[in-house]
Amino acid sequence: YSHILNPKTGFPFDNDIASITLLISGEDASNGDGLSTMIYTLGTKKGYEYVQTLENVQAVFVDKDSKVYITEGLKDQFELTNDNYKMGKIDDLK
């Protein structure tokens, strides 16, 4: 279970995200913990779309099916080296 509770239900959020990592440059880095929590609550597709609207923020999402999604700014820098994970396509998500 996630340690992030849904304020509407009082139970942990249950979505498709297993892990999210934010890469934040500049002065905005101090807001990273709160930002990652908020993005986690959106789920992978909506969270990805939200990150794409932010300046100086990139993200790596790992879902519960071991698929990895990276934002556009990381496409030329990210290399998946673990065969237990596969790259996912954000357009394939609902």
Is the pTM higher than 0.85?
Answer: yes
The more confident residue out of 80 and 7 is 80
Contact status, residue 71 vs residue 44, Cβ threshold 8 Å: no
Q: Does the pLDDT of residue 84 top 80, yes or no?
A: yes
Domain assignment present for 10: no
Q: Does the pLDDT of residue 1 top 60, yes or no?
A: no
How many domains does one find in the chain?
1
Domain assignment present for 4: no
The closest alpha carbon to 59, from 36, 89, 33, 84, belongs to 36
Task: Give the model's pLDDT for residue 30.
Answer: 76
Domain assignment present for 69: yes
Q: Which domain holds residue 61?
A: 17-89
DSSP 15-77: SSEEEEEEEE-GGGGGGHHHHHHHHHHH-HHHHHHHHTTSTTEEEEEEETTSEEEE-GGGTTT
Task: Give the model's pLDDT for residue 14.
Answer: 84
Task: Give the model's pLDDT for residue 7.
Answer: 86
Domain assignment present for 48: yes
Q: Does the pLDDT of residue 28 top 70, yes or no?
A: no
